[in-house]
C-alpha cells in the first residue's frame, strides 16, 4: 500500500490529452513539492517534473503538472505512442521522514 | 553525460548479505546527496536510504533500518549499500539516484539502470 494514491491505469489515443492524479496528505503533498517520474519498461526511472510544475531540460512541453492542497496531477497533451510508460508521483513525507511514492499509473496509448 | 551504474546484485539465500555498488560519472559526485530506491516485482518504487554529500548523515526507511548500511567513497565516485540479514521481501531491483534540490525540496534527478537482488532459498 503506497503512501500516495494514484490510479493503477490510464489510457488515451494518439493526440489526446490525459491526466494522472496523485493524492496524499498534509504530511507529504500538503507540505512539500511533488515530483513525477516516467519509467519505460526495462529502463531506469526518469525525472519528468519537479517542484510541482518544473520541467527538466529535454522534457517536451506536452508534459505539465500542478498541485493543489494535498493532491497533484500530471497532464500529457498530444499523446504519443512513446509516452506509454509507468508514471510515479513522489513527495517528501514528514511523518516517515523520507520520500514517498505513489503506486504508479500504467499509461496505455491505444 | 551523467552515468550511474549499479552492480553487485544476484541471488542470495535468506539471512545472508550482499553489497551493492553504484559508480558515478559525468557530474561532481562529492557535491550531491545520493539515494537508493528499490522496486519489488509487480510493485511500485520504494525509497530505501540516503547519504549526504560528505557521508556524515544517513537515513533509512523503517523496512531496512538496522539491516542495511549506506556509504560512499568520494575518492572513487562510488556509492554502496551493504545489505545484511536479507529476507524474501527485499527481492527488488535496486536503483541508485542522485539528489537535486530546489528551495529545500528534493527530487531524484538521475537514476542508474538498476541491479536485481533476489532473496530465495
Give the CB-side neighbour count of residue B78, counting CA atoms within 13 A.
13
Considering only CB atoms, A50 lies closest to which of B45, B102, B111, namely B102
Inter-chain CB proximity A44 and B102 less than 8 Å:
no
Identify which of B55, B49, B32 has the alpha carbon closest to the alpha carbon of residue B94.
B49
pLDDT attached to residue A45: 92
Model confidence at B105: pLDDT above 90: no
pLDDT attached to residue B11: 98
- Minimum CA–CA partner of B61 in chain A: A98
Rounded Cα distance, B59 and A38, in Å: 25
Per-residue confidence band for B58, with pLDDT thresholds at 50, 70 and 90: very high
Rounded Cα distance, A62 and A73, in Å: 14
Inter-chain CB proximity A98 and B113 less than 8 Å:
no
| Bigger pLDDT: A26 vs B104 | A26
Model confidence at B16: pLDDT above 90: yes
Inter-chain CB proximity A98 and B109 less than 8 Å:
no
Q: Is B103 in the A-facing interface, judged by CB distances under 8 Å?
A: yes
Using DSSP's 3-state secondary structure scheme, residue B2 falls into: coil
Amino acid at each position: 500500500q503506497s503512501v500516495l494514491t494514484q490510479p493503477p491505469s490510464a489510457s488515451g489515443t494518439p493526440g489526446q490529452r490525459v491526466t494522472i492524479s496523485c493524492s496524499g496528505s498534509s504530511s507529504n503533498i500538503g507540505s512539500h513539492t511533488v515530483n513525477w517520474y516516467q519509467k519505460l519498461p526495462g529502463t531506469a526511472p526518469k525525472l519528468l517534473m519537479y517542484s510541482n510544475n518544473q520541467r527538466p531540460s529535454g522534457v517536451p512541453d506536452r508534459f505539465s503538472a500542478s498541485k493543489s492542497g494535498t493532491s497533484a496531477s500530471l497532464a500529457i497533451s498530444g499523446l504519443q505512442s512513446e509516452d506509454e510508460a509507468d508514471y510515479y508521483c513522489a513527495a517528501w513525507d514528514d511523518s516517515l521522514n523520507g520520500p514517498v511514492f505513489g503506486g504508479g499509473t500504467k499509461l496505455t496509448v491505444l | 553525460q551523467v552515468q550511474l551504474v549499479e552492480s553487485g546484485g544476484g541471488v542470495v539465500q535468506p539471512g545472508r548479505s550482499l553489497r551493492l555498488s553504484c559508480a558515478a560519472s559525468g557530474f561532481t559526485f562529492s557535491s550531491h546527496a545520493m539515494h537508493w530506491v528499490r522496486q519489488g516485482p509487480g510493485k511500485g518504487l520504494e525509497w530505501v536510504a540516503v547519504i549526504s554529500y560528505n557521508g556524515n548523515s544517513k537515513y533509512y526507511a523503517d523496512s531496512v533500518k538496522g539491516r542495511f548500511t549506506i556509504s560512499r567513497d568520494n575518492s572513487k565516485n562510488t556509492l554502496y549499500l551493504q545489505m545484511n540479514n536479507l529476507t524474501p521481501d527485499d527481492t527488488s531491483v535496486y536503483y541508485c539516484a542522485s539528489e537535486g534540490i530546489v528551495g529545500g525540496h528534493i527530487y531524484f534527478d538521475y537514476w542508474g539502470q538498476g541491479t536485481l537482488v533476489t532473496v530465495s532459498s
